[in-house]
């Protein structure tokens, strides 16, 4: 069983839709949770960074962490075609230490 | 956010030759950097952890004599792929965390071995 599970998709939504991306994990030692966006042939770009359980909002993006369920989510409101990319969840035990990634979800937002 | 650069962005080399990839933290110092490789439509696979002033820590199954890592300073780590073969063709990405913070990734280096 993988430490981090993420549905690879692909996920296709119309412009303006609310997108929900999710990851589950098995290692209860994970404390730091991140979401990255990766465009084709580019390095991952950090979108959200949260510590422990709770919600964090940044513009159209909201990250949620539920440590009791070992479940994290990323919501994208008013999705745009420019949001079309692969979204990777990642987590670590210690801040700044090695990351464990999900498989990535490929998202397409259709105009 | 913090900025991490990589050079070159793309390299093509012949089988049997060696290739060096640089990873630099531009606006912060990094005692630790991480090297990943990524195959098409797959997630990132951690290859090794680069530690300034000491030996790198390699993940299981990664040949340390083939993928040489040198963390020469607090802003520079290099990955040298020695005696490259076509199966080494991949996208190599580095990351670095500012002290006690989240990780930032470089733009990646696409290696093609012919």
pLDDT digit of tens for each residue in chain B (114 aa)? 789 999 999 999 999 999 999 999 999 999 999 999 999 888 999 999 999 888 999 999 999 999 999 998 999 999 999 999 999 999 999 999 987 778 999 999 999 999
Length of chain B: 114
**From A6, which residue of chain B is nearest by alpha-carbon distance?**
B43
pLDDT at B65: 95
A32, A80, B18, B103 from A48: Cα distances, Å: 11, 18, 37, 11
* Residue A75 touches chain B, beta carbons under 8 Å: no
Q: By CB neighbour count within 10 A (0-12 exposed, 13-18 middle, 19+ buried), where does B110 fall?
A: middle
CA distance B26 to B40: 28
* pLDDT (0 to 100) of residue A5: 96
Tell me if A45 sits within 8 A of B3, measured CB to CB: no
**Chain B residues with CB-CB distance to A97 below 8 A:** 32, 97
- Strand partners of residue B102: none
pLDDT one-digit tens code per residue, A14-26: 999 999 999 999 9
pLDDT of residue B101: 78
**Could you give phi then psi for residue B84, rounded to 5 degrees?**
-65, 145
Rounded to whole angstroms, what are the CA distances from A34 to A48, A87, A102? Answer: 5, 10, 11
Q: How many CB atoms lie within 10 A of CB B97?
A: 25
Task: Give the position of tokens 């070992």.
Answer: A70
User: What pLDDT score does A53 carry?
Assistant: 87
Mean pLDDT for chain A? 95
Q: Does A77 have pLDDT greater than 90?
A: yes
Q: Decide if A103 and B42 are in contact by the 8 Å CB cutoff.
A: yes
Q: Which of A95, A99, A101 is the closest to B100 by Cβ? A: A95
Q: Which of A30, A35, A96, A106 to mutate to test the interface with B (most CBs of B within 10 A)?
A: A96
Write down the pLDDT at residue B102. Answer: 87
b/e for A3-40, b at 16 or more Cβ within 10 A? ebebeeeeeebeeeeebebbbbbeeeebbbbbbbbbee
The rounded distance, in Å, linking the Cα atoms of B67 and B112 is 15
Min Cα–Cα distance to chain B from A32, Å: 9
Query: For A24-50, what is each residue's pLDDT tens digit?
Result: 999 999 999 999 999 998 999 999 999
Interface test with B, best of A44, A46, A85 (most B CBs within 10 A): A44
Determine the distance in angstroms separating the CA of A28 from the nearest CA of chain B, rounded to an integer: 19
Average pLDDT of A62-75? 96
What letter does residue A81 receive in the DSSP assignment? G
Closest by Cα among B23, B47, B38, B44 to B97: B23
Kindly indicate the confidence band of residue A96, based on its pLDDT and cuts at 50, 70 and 90. Answer: confident
Supply the pLDDT for residue B36.
96
Nearest CA in chain B to A42: B107
| A50-56: average pLDDT | 90
Closest Cα in chain A to B2: A46
Classify strands B109-113 and B10-13 as parallel, antiparallel or unpaired. Answer: parallel
CA distance B50 to B31: 8
Instruction: Note whether A64 contacts B: Cβ–Cβ < 8 A.
Output: no
B112 HSE (CA, 13 A, CB side): 6
């Amino acid at each position: 069983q993988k430490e981090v599970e993420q549905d690879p998709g692909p996920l296709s939504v119309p412009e303006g839709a609310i997108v929900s991306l999710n990851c589950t994990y098995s290692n209860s030692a994970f404390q730091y949770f991140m979401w990255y966006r990766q465009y084709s042939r580019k390095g991952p770009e950090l979108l959200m960074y949260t510590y422990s359980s709770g919600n964090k909002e940044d513009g159209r993006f909201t990250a949620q962490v539920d440590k009791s369920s070992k479940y994290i989510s990323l919501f994208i409101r008013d999705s745009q075609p420019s949001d079309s990319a692969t979204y990777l969840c990642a987590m670590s035990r210690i801040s700044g230490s090695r990351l464990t990634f999900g498989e990535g979800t490929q998202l397409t937002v259709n105009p | 956010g913090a900025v991490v650069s990589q050079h070159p962005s793309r390299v093509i080399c012949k089988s049997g030759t060696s290739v060096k990839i640089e990873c630099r933290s531009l606006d912060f110092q990094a005692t630790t950097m991480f090297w990943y490789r990524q195959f098409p439509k797959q997630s990132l696979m951690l290859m090794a952890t680069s530690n300034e002033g000491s030996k790198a820590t390699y993940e299981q199954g990664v040949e340390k004599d083939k993928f040489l890592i040198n963390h020469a300073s607090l802003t520079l780590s290099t990955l040298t792929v020695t005696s490259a073969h076509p199966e080494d063709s991949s996208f190599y990405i580095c990351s670095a965390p500012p002290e006690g913070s989240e990780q930032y990734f470089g733009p990646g280096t696409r290696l093609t071995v012919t």
